A and B are shown apart, each in its own frame.
Chain A
């Protein structure tokens, strides 16, 4: 029986090592999962912020047209808020609208460091077209039309 003791101790040590390794693996997997979920949430928030910025810029440009019932800044703010974002800046009112929105995202990963909210920001700029969109590529056999604005070309 005495001859079995060292083998038994080694077996127990191997078992303990395996349990430790399994525990470390579980912790690593858990951390990896949290990181993936958080990264996906941030990516999604960035995409939502982009949609909010685009929509807000479009609303601002639309609100500059005759017959609009609201101001460009108010229209942009409405669309940003509807996406859950804040309108940080709005250079609106002219033919060019530039908006910046900021979307708060709950941070689970950095909560331990005291950072509970991360913000995804997005910019969008739009210029109101003076007329119908050109139907030919701008670099294809084009010549400026006399008297027309520089932007517009005909074949």
Chain B
């Protein structure tokens, strides 16, 4: 009786570790998105940078607020990732905030 329970437990722990890994990944993607948003006025560039870093398996949802930003303003990037196929189908969110840099005023949106 104990062996199946232990195997199930090991599977659960592995799934939990996968969820933890995705949570860290979401945070890293948000950090990358915030860094991009601090230097680029285009939201599409932020989404593209995040999608490229996430790889083909993850389809991250990216939200950039506020939509328009300038030098000195604060921009927040929220990234939500969802990895299908696991026992736990949870949406994991990472959030990062950055300070608008001078390039924002120099670049065209």
Contact = CB atoms under 8 A, between A and B. Distances in A.
Interface of A: 18, 21-22, 25, 29, 32-33, 36-37, 39-40, 43-44, 47-48, 51, 54-55, 58-59, 62-63, 65, 67-70, 75, 78-79, 82-83
Contacts of B102: 62, 65, 67
Given A21-B2, A25-B5, A48-B27, A40 B16 contact: yes
Most buried by B among A37, A48, A75: A48
26 contacts: A32-B13, A33-B12, A33-B13, A36-B13, A36-B16, A36-B20, A37-B16, A40-B20, A43-B20, A44-B20, A47-B24, A51-B27, A51-B30, A54-B31, A55-B31, A55-B34, A55-B96, A55-B99, A58-B101, A59-B98, A62-B101, A63-B99, A68-B72, A69-B72, A75-B99, A82-B74
A63 B98 CA distance: 12
B97 interface: yes
A83 B96 CA distance: 7
B77 to A, nearest CB: 10
Interface in B13-37: 13, 16-17, 19-20, 23-24, 27-28, 30-31, 34-35
A25 B5 CA distance: 9
Contacts of A68: 72
Interface string B1-16: 1100110010011001
Nearest to B24: A47
A32 B9 contact: yes
B38 interface: yes
Interface of A is mostly: helix
A22 B1 contact: yes
Interface of B: 1-2, 5-6, 9, 12-13, 16-17, 19-20, 23-24, 27-28, 30-31, 34-35, 38, 71-72, 74, 76, 95-99, 101-102
Interface of B is mostly: helix
Given A22-B1, A40-B16, A43-B20, A79 B31 contact: no
B13 to A, nearest CB: 6
Nearest to A51: B31
